[in-house]
Amino acid sequence: MIFVDQLFLPGRGPSCFRAGCCHMWTDESTAELIAFAGRLGLKTGWLQDTGLPSEHFDLTVGRRARAVRLGAVEATSRDWVAKWRGAKR
């Protein structure tokens, strides 16, 4: 399943984009994440922190909206961190 966290507005949270951004990740495979990213027009080389569970793509506001329309599940950053911590045990 593909997830997107909440939108970080400019000046709040990570400063990945001046216009705001969010993260997109999966609880499945890297292949699933890369395939979904391709549907959004993202390059494979933009994958960050390679290696499940922390790998992700940063998304702009518009790409986040499109990801949700294509079926990504809205979650929180806390959900992502909890999954990441659980996988590290």
User: HEC string of the chain?
Assistant: CEEECCCECCCCCCCCCCCCEEEEEECCCHHHHHHHHHHCCCCHHHCECCCCCCCEEEECHHHHHHHHHCCCEECCHHHHHHHHHHHHC
**pLDDT at residue number 15:** 55
Task: Sketch the domain layout of the chain as residue ranges.
Answer: 2-88
Nearest-angstrom CA–CA distance, 80 and 44: 21
Q: What is the pLDDT of residues 74-83, one digit of tens each?
A: 998 777 777 7
pTM reported for the whole predicted model: 0.80
Look at residue 89 in the predicted model and tell me its pLDDT: 46
